[in-house]
Amino acid sequence: MEAYGNPLSIPFAFPFCTASITIGATNSMQTSSPWMDTRIWRKLPERLVDRVIAFLPPAAFFRSRSVCKRWYALLFSHNFLELYLQVSPCRHWFLFFKHKIPLKNNSIYRNGSVNANGTSTEEGYAFDPDTLNWYRLVFLLVPPGFSLASSSGGLVCWVSEEAGAKSLLLSNPLFGSLTQLPSTLRPRLFPSVGLTVTNSSIDIVVSGDDLISPYAVKNLTTESFHIDGGGFYSIWGTTSSLPRLCSLESGRMVHVQGRFYCMTYSPSSVLSYDLSTNYWCKVQAPMRRFLRSPSLVESKGKLILIAAVEKSKLNVPRSLRLWAFQACRTAWVEIERMPQQLYLQFAEVEGGRGFTCVGHGEFVVILIRGSDNALLFDLYRKRWVWMPPCPYVRGGNVGGQGGGDIELHGFAYEPRLATPVTGLLEQLTLPLQPFNG
C-alpha cells in the first residue's frame, strides 16, 4: 500500500503504473528458478502461450507486449481477442475522474485539463480493489466539450456538455477506440444517462433536464437507444414520460436485471425504468425521511441502497447502512451496517459534507466529498478498509488546502481489451460525423 511503483511507458496513448518490485521478482525467477527452464517453456504451442497471456491482468499484458513482435501484435489479432473473450476473468475495477465541485449535482462530470496549445486532455484513474493498485489512463481521442456520464462492459460513455441535442461517444480505455453515436432527438442540459453493454447488445437511456426554453429545464421525458446482434436497433426512436414532480439530481443510473434505477430526493425515493416496457415507476426507499447522501449501486445482480441514517429524536444510533432490493421489487432488507466505532471515525472525516458511492462486483467504494478519503467495503468478506489515496491527483490530495474545489467521481469499470459489441454500430445507416483525435 505504501509504494505504487514507477509509471511504465507502453506503445499506446495511456501509461499504466506497475510495481517495480514485482517486475524485479519476475526477472529473478526467470533466471534462477528451474521451473522456468527455457528448454521447456520455449517449446509450448503458441495457442497455449496465448491462453496464458489472455489470463494476465491489464498492466502485465501491456508489459508483455515488449517481449517480441508477435506478442506486441496480439492486441490486434482477431484469434487472440476471441480467445481472450472466452477465458479472461472478469475484473471488478473502478474508474475515477476528478472535476470541479459543481453548484448543482448532475450527471455530467467535468474533468481533464487544457494544454498550452489549446487541446484538451482527459484522464482517469483506474483502481484495482483486489491489489489496491492505482493506474492512470489518458484519453487522447476524446474531443473538447465532452464529459464522462456512464460506463458498462468495458466501455465508457461521454456526453456533450453543450446545451441542446446530446452527442454521445463510446470508448474503450484500453484499446483506445472511440465511436460516435447519433445525437438525441430532444434538447437537454445535464440529463441523467444510463448505459448497459453486453457482448451482443447496447442499451442507453437519457432522461430529464429537457430544455423547454433557453432559460428553463424540466424533468419530462426519456429517450432510449438500443442495438443488438440480432439486427434490431432503435435509434432514440421511443420516448416515455417521467413521473410527475420527479427530481433526478443524483444524475446516476444503475442497471440491474433489465431495469435502470436512480434516486430522487425530498423525501428520498427510487425511480425504476423498465427497458422492455418503456415505463417508469416509483419505489419507496427505506427510512426515507431519515436518509442522508443516499446512493444506489449494483452488486452481483442486486440493487443496493447505501445511506447515512440520522434519527435525532429517536433512540436510534446514527449509522451508515446498506439495504438490498428484493426480487419482488417491493421490499428492502438491511444487509449490512458500518461498525459504530468506524462510523464515528468516518463521520469525523466526512464532517457533514456528504458522500457518494459506487459498486462493482463484491466491492463498494464510499467517496467523501471534497476529500481524498474513501472507504472500500468487501460485501463478500464483510471487511471495511480505508483506500490508499490516488497518487496521480495532486500528490494524492484532492480536497483540503489548495484543492478543496476538486473531488473524485467513480464508475464501475471492467478493464477489457476487446469489446466486440462496438462492431454492431457499423450496422447503423445514419451518417455520423467523425471526430479527429
Query: Which grid coordinates belong to 386?
Result: 480505508
CB 245 within 8 A of CB 234: no
CATH of domain 93-422: 2.120.10.80
Residue 370 to residue 377: CA distance in whole angstroms: 20
Sheet containing strand 363-368, strands side by side: 355-360, 363-368, 374-378, 383-386
pLDDT recorded at residue 285? 87
Q: Kindly tell me the burial class for residue 346, based on how many C-beta atoms sit within 10 Å of its own C-beta (0-12, 13-18, 19 or more).
A: buried
Please name the residue that has the C-alpha cell 491489489: 131
Strand ranges inside 9-62, DSSP E: 16-18
Sheet containing strand 168-172, strands side by side: 146-152, 155-160, 168-172, 177-180
Closest among 334, 339, 350 to 317, alpha carbons compared: 339
List the domain boundaries for the chain: 6-87, 93-422
pLDDT recorded at residue 256? 93
Residue 381 to residue 286: CA distance in whole angstroms: 25
CB 76 within 8 A of CB 43: no
Q: Kindly tell me the burial class for residue 368, based on how many C-beta atoms sit within 10 Å of its own C-beta (0-12, 13-18, 19 or more).
A: buried
- Measure the CA dihedral 378/382/386/390, to 10°: 0
Sign of the dihedral through C-alpha 52, 55, 58, 60: negative
CB 92 within 8 A of CB 50: no
pLDDT recorded at residue 118? 44
CA distances from 13 to 171, 174, 177, 200, 293 (A): 13, 9, 11, 27, 37
Query: Which grid coordinates belong to 154?
Result: 468495458
Residue 293 to residue 286: CA distance in whole angstroms: 13
Q: Kindly tell me the burial class for residue 155, based on how many C-beta atoms sit within 10 Å of its own C-beta (0-12, 13-18, 19 or more).
A: buried
CA distances from 437 to 120, 138, 151 (A): 10, 13, 21
Residue 437 to residue 424: CA distance in whole angstroms: 22
pLDDT recorded at residue 422? 79
Grouping H, G, I as helix, E, B as strand and the rest as coil, residue 82 is: helix
pLDDT averaged per 10 residues in sequence order, the chain, 437 residues: 33 33 33 65 84 91 90 90 90 86 47 47 88 90 89 93 92 87 91 92 92 88 89 81 80 89 84 90 85 90 91 73 86 92 92 91 92 90 92 60 63 90 70 42
Kindly write down the DSSP assignment for every residue of 234-257, as one continuous string. EEEEEEEEPPTT---TT-B-EEET
CB 194 within 8 A of CB 202: no
Residue 211 to residue 171: CA distance in whole angstroms: 27
Please name the residue that has the C-alpha cell 498550452: 116
